[in-house]
Structure 1
């Protein structure tokens, strides 16, 4: 058997998402101590902060808890609705600042930015039109650039915008439109392989076409059969996850080996954080999956 080429520029990690964590506080989620114990036990070094308030927000406490488990933080995550224009800036910045300050204190270099959902994540009720107007696109791109500039100047972090199902930055067309309208110096992309496939995109093609814009990776796969049913039934993202649309690699799509090879070929260091959406899930389910996933990624050279 041929040994895979080492992916020397890819830094593998995992996230609270892979333990079914979507909220700062939810009785159906594993306690944060268990997440930290298990993510370290599964062989990961890097983690994300997850929803603000799930992990301790006191940097001294979090540094002690992560440090004694041999863990380091790669990024924080924020949700934004910048297409709504300047009226939402102050509220957005208050949310961003808390996350960015903690990420900076933990030595992270990135802030993952997820656009807001156009339909309710649980009920599927439309919150707004699924297509943005030209004016909304200008607000989205212009304010995202402002966010990138201010996060960099105030916290020394680089924003990486995460295309996501049920948001306005989702498909190949919308991702290309977003990238073409934003300054590469201020705005990079967090390519989530699962969400991009969920929305019909080709991750390898995106890396090869917009390589200089790829600043971060989320490794995820979708089950194509479940996805077909989700699309046919117009199921919103939350219930789609409950159906198991995001699945354990290597059983889904896209194949991660060519994605990782394309990322390695960019010639830059990239985080590749495993994120298998599983909310809600049995608390004993995530750890064995995390162990198997880490073993699979090692077999890919990562």
Structure 2
């Protein structure tokens, strides 16, 4: 069993309001979102596009519901912007997260990413880095990770993601081998590994001591296959229902939980399953996810 004092459960607001597809959940308010998170039994949240920018306003709203910020996505452009520009934006986000009490920042390299391109197929169109670009990325992440840890007390976790320069197991391996464990950890996302054809269990076993943040996401493989076959975009796949909550798709979570437990994982495990809320009621699915996790982990 996981230690309840060391492992917490969160859920991402992307099920209520989608950052990349603003029409999905446009009717759902910030207050509804965090209230339903709390009612479903979660204590952590990542940051959504409707969250108040004012720190005190956000703290009060979350505090009333027993919710805290556990992580926030950060878009890196280390390959295409001067490092100083990336660092400036990174520090601004770190300051916000420190003020909110968060211990994790989730970075994803967005240079040349096709994940947000509505008409670009997610399979077969991703950018591959050359050796020079790999050095720039890994060196830059080490520098950002050092800043995060030593100046803000926050851990940089890298989010492998469909459509980006770090998507598949070979790319994750190269990134992990060429970054410093003290400063760069892995944001382990079950859904993105499964989506690209990797085995999330094997990835958990391989990187169990580098994992500092977990996204619990499931996939519907028949829809992923349709996305591949019909050359649809990542965003099309979201609308079609490629992702779902843990326990509702093809990923076998029980052995993954066992690996993380045996590794002594500490931190947040966050349900992150972007769907069309008109088709998959966020509160209903949050309740289902919470029930599944309780049954499989005791948390």
TM-score, with structure 1 as normaliser = 0.89
Greater relative contact order (CA < 8 Å, ≥ 6 in sequence): 1
Matched, 1:111 2:109: no
> Could you tell me whether the CA contact under 8 Å between 2:121 and 2:231 is conserved in 1?
no
What SS does the corresponding residue of 2:173 show, helix, strand or coil? Answer: helix
Q: Would the alpha carbon gap of residues 29 and 184 (structure 1) be closer, same or farther in structure 2, given more than 3 Å must change?
A: farther
* Match of residue 53 from structure 2: 57
Cα 1:25–1:151 shift into 2, 3 Å: farther
Residue 121 of structure 1 deviates from its aligned partner by 2.7
Number of the residue aligned with 1:161:
158
Kept in 1: contact 2:14–2:273 (CA 8 A): yes
Q: 2:10·2:45 contact (CA, 8 Å) conserved in 1? A: yes
Instruction: Report the alpha carbon displacement of residue 23 of structure 1 after superposing the two structures with TM.
Output: 5.4
Of 30, 33, 53, 1:32 maps to 30
CA deviation string 1:231-251 (max 9, x = no partner)? 222322111111100023312
* Counterpart position of 2:230: 233
Once the two structures are TM-superposed, the CA of residue 109 in structure 1 deviates from its matched residue by 0.4
Distance 1:151 1:159 in 2: 7
Instruction: Tell me how far apart the structure 2 counterparts of residues 20 and 223 of structure 1 sit (CA, whole Å).
Output: 20
**Pair 1:37–1:146, CA change in 2 (3 A):** same
Deviation at 1:140, TM superposition (A): 0.9
Q: Describe the shift of the 1:248–1:133 C-alpha distance in structure 2 as closer, same or farther (beyond 3 A).
A: same
* Deviation of 1:281 (Å): 3.1
- Per-residue CA shift, 1:181-228, capped at 9, x if unaligned? 111111000001001111112222122222221111000001111111
Quote the residue 2:46 is aligned against: 48
Contact in 2 for aligned 1:28/1:281 (Cα 8 Å): no
Q: Which residue of 1 aligns with 2:69?
A: 73
* Counterpart contact for 1:109–1:158, Cα < 8 Å: yes
3-state SS, counterpart of residue 209 of structure 2:
helix
Task: Give the Å deviation of 1:135.
Answer: 0.9
Does residue 296 (structure 1) correspond to residue 292 (structure 2)? The answer is yes
RMSD between superposed Cα atoms in Å: 2.2
In structure 1, C-alpha distance between the alignment counterparts of 2:55 and 2:168, rounded to whole Å:
37
8 Å CA contact retained: 1:36, 1:66: yes
CA contact (8 A) 2:126 2:165 kept: no
- Matching residue of 1:145: 142
| 2:167 aligned residue | 170
The worse-fitting range, judged by mean Cα deviation, of 170-179 and 75-84 is 75-84
Q: Tell me, what secondary structure is at the counterpart of 1:83? A: coil
Q: 1:31 to 1:198 in 2, by over 3 A?
A: same
- Within the alignment, does 1:273 sit opposite 2:266 as a pair? no
TM-score, normalised with respect to structure 2: 0.90
Distance between the aligned counterparts of 1:131 and 1:233, measured in 2?
A: 22
Structure 1 residue matching 2:106: 3-state secondary structure = strand
Show CA shifts across 1:225-275 (max 9, x none): 111111222322111111100023312132112111111111131311000
* Alpha-carbon contact 1:7-1:260 (below 8 Å) kept: no
Specify every segment of 5 or more residues in structure 1 that has no aligned partner in the other structure, as ranges.
none
Q: Cα distance, 1:22 vs. partner?
A: 1.2
The number of residues matched between the two structures is 292
Choose which of 194, 198, 203 in structure 2 pairs with 1:201. 198
